[in-house]
Amino acid sequence: MSTRRIRVLIGKPGLDGHDRGAKIVATALRDAGMEVVYTGLHQTPEMIAEVAVQEDVDVVGLSILSGAHLSLFPRVRKELLARDMGHVVLTGGGIIPAEDVASLEQQGYAKLFGPGTRTEDIATWIQAEMQRRWSDEGAAR
Amino acid sequence: MTKQAKRGPVSSTSSADPRALWEAELAAARLRGAEFSTVSQSPLQALYGPAEAPLDYERDLGYPGQFPFTRGVHPTMYRGRLWTMRQFAGFGSAQQTNERFKYLLGLGQTGLSTAFDFPTLMGYDSDHAFAEGEVGQVGVAISSLEDMQRLMDGIPMAEVSTSMTINGPAPILLAFYIACGERQGVDPRELRGTVQNDILKEFQAQHAWLVPPIPALRMITDVMGYCAERVPQWNTISISGYHIREAGSTAAQELAFTLANGMEYVRRGVAAGLNVDDFAPRLSFFFDSHIDFFEEIAKFRAARRIWARKLRDEFGAKDPRSWMVRFHTQTAGVTLTAQQPENNIVRTAFEALAAVLGGTQSLHTNSMDETYALPTEKAVKIALRTQQLIAEETEVANVIDPLAGSYFVEAETSRLEQEALATFAEIERRGGVVACIDSGWIQKEIHRSAVLYQRAVELRRKKIVGVNCYEEPDGDATPLELHRIDASVETDQRARLADLRRRRDGARARRELEAIRAACRSRENLLARFVAAAHADCTLGEIADVLRQEFGIYKEPKIL
């Protein structure tokens, strides 16, 4: 079992100013022992991908409550792939209708969380996902 | 404690003090929990009596329409006129929102309230790169005077009052509205409505800013000065606690930060050479109505009392209208749940009732489907009907400030007042509101409260039906029909802007933009320049670009 601390980037893409959820999740993941970088507001997909590279994160979690998720989530993924960051776990949350969640989960987002989610459940999910990936990597070696 | 209360009525069965007897019974009993508190986690007693509400009636309550306005700002309150039913609406194109406005007016709504999309809120045109994917999503896209004309098409601007939730670029959107009125043949003196224009809470909570605090405050005093002379019925700021609360603050913090912001605007207006009584009567307020019924009612009452005392006794305002907190209320979006969304109708009804019992001047009720998307017509109709039901069926609007004199409500009113005064002193100690924004102190305080509340919910100390109690396995499946914004809104809007830029007198537009640049560097009133620029078909983004170039871009302090 890996003892490396999980590194997470919490990002706010687009012009959306709602950051209560993003900051609560960032705080909760930090409390759960992860290293968390929060981008702050009004980030372009390029800016988020750049920070992900610089901080060498394992997980990118995006928060959008502005309805622009179908445009912004795929663009962040594209920018990450362009920077050879295809290995990061992509997740996120916000005000996202169920059918859009399904669509984004088909486009490379491992899981999206909706309103009312317990922060503990997000932390547990990320830990399990990272353990799974790290043990897959170990097996591959 | 009064003599009467101390002794209490003599018990026929026991010689013990009845209060001591009751306290002993309570202490011995098995209760639902160890601690009881408001939704803001302020401790509550089991019972309130005269000792907890030591009031001087004339000093602390008075009469409706009289200082300190605890009981309401109008002598008649809802016997004279009901509150304005004002549903916040805006999505897609100006034409789509215009249709929603007409639908709402047709249902008996009495005022308009405009929601703008994020590009508009941040001062970017719909064809800016930052706008990609965001046009028309959370509100209507308005990039030009022509867009404003489409928004108000067929709506008599001299008769309807319009509220616009816009802050950083508020003076520019107000200029579009004034110019639009002029094109409809309406004198600016006849226009009634509100621009939110409350930039301080943007830095603290809502985060749609344009330029840094000091130049932003200068534009606000320009709006106050211009409107005092030329648009006298316009509310130049709606000092808003709503977003502070939605960002996670407690009721007491919402009250304190909002009124502290209000006092900062008053100081800036006075420092800019305005007479307090020339602009303070046009300041209005906007509060959240959260789910804790009594705490909210007390908050509204406390807001009136605090402001009246501050304006009269500290700022020396002489006009009683300067002392009044006139306010709009919106039910709390954060209390809506994605789980079992029909329950949101009930939550909204309780919150709306609290706002009415708290004496609001206007009200927006949220729709049940807003944790998924913007509301459908059906959901909006139920939300509006909720207000109409309170107004017409419950008979609560017949008696003014009906909860006054409740020991509990009066004790909570005083408690919130005291907490707000303590926070004012803390802000003062930290160098004032702007210094507290620059240091991130207010933002951190709000975040801290949000975290404490989230923990309480996750520990099930605070309950949310459908979320941490009475859950249903499929409770968060989306059972509702949702309102979707078509992607064509963005492409159409880009095409319209390109067309406008081709058609207009380019040289005139450039001249007006340069005149704005010059005004930024002098003390000339910027709103006057924006109105001229609106008539020259300068776009929102073009005007905002000049402001960003001249005043700089705001960078939020790192608080996490």
Q: Is the model's pLDDT at B14 over the cut of 60?
A: no
Burial B118-130 (b: 16+ CB within 10 A, else e): bbbbbbbbbbbeb
Say whether A16 and B482 touch across the interface (CB within 8 A): no
pLDDT value of residue A76? 98
Look up residue B537 and give its two tokens.
Answer: 């078909």
**pLDDT tens track for A51-74:** 999 999 999 999 999 999 999 999
The ipTM value here is 0.94
Interface of B with A (CB under 8 A): 118-119, 121-122, 124, 130-134, 137-138, 202, 206-208, 246-248, 334, 336-339, 371-374, 447, 450-451, 454, 458, 464, 466-467, 476-478, 482, 485, 556, 558-560
Spell out a b/e string for A35-69, using b for 16 or more CB atoms within 10 Å of the CB, else e: ebbbbbbbbbbebbbbbbeebebbbbbbbbbbbbb
- pLDDT digits 0-9 by tens, B196-205: 999 999 999 9
The interface residues of chain A toward chain B in range 61-100, judged by CB-CB distance below 8 A, are 66-68, 70-72, 75, 95, 97-99
Contact of B328 with B286, CB cutoff 8 Å: yes
What is the rounded distance in angstroms from the CA atom of residue A88 to the CA atom of residue A81?
9
DSSP state of B204: I
Across the A:B interface, residue pairs with CB atoms under 8 Å apart total 99
Residues of A in contact with B206 (CB under 8 A): 17
CA B91 to CA B97: how far, in whole Å?
A: 6
* CATH-assigned architecture of domain B64-429+446-458: Alpha-Beta Barrel (3.20)
* CA B308 – CA B68 distance, rounded (Å): 5
How do residues A91-127 score in pLDDT, each as one tens digit? Answer: 999 999 989 999 999 999 999 999 999 999 999 999 9
DSSP code at position A5: P
B458 and A119: CB-CB below 8 Å?
yes
pLDDT at B429: 98
Judge contact between B259 and B303, C-beta under 8 A: yes
pLDDT attached to residue B479 = 63
- Measure the CA–CA gap between A35 and B209, rounded to whole angstroms: 30
Residues of A in contact with B458 (CB under 8 A): 118-120
B421: closest CA of chain A, how far (Å): 26
Q: Which residues of B318-349 are buried (b: 16+ CB within 10 A; e: fewer)?
A: eebebbbbbbbbbbbbbbbbbbbbebbbebbb
Report the mean per-residue pLDDT for chain B. Answer: 95
Domain ranges of chain A: 7-131
| Mutation choice for B interface testing from A8, A12, A15, A79 by most B CBs within 10 A | A15
> Strand locations in B4-141, DSSP E?
84-85, 88-89, 112-115
β-pairing, B84-85 vs A111-113, is unpaired
Taking the C-alpha atoms of residue B89 and residue B123, their distance in angstroms, rounded to an integer, is 19
Nearest CA in chain B to A72: B133
* Distance spanning both ends of chain A, measured CA to CA: 15
The topology under which CATH files domain A7-131 is: Rossmann fold (3.40.50)
pLDDT digits (tens, 9 = 90+) for B462-502: 999 999 999 998 766 656 788 889 999 999 999 999 999 99
**Residue B11, strand partner residues:** none
pTM for the full predicted model = 0.95
Distances (CA, A) of B68 to B72, B73, B419: 9, 9, 18
- Single out the residue of B177, B187, B213 nearest to residue B540, CA to CA: B177
Residue B516: C-alpha distances to residues B156, B221, B414, B520 (Å): 30, 16, 47, 6
Half-sphere exposure of B461 (CA within 13 A, CB side): 16
- Out of B246, B339, B447, whose CB is closest to A23? B447
Element (H, E) at B417: helix B407-429
| pLDDT for position A4 | 83
Q: Which residues of B touch A99 (CB under 8 A)?
A: 478
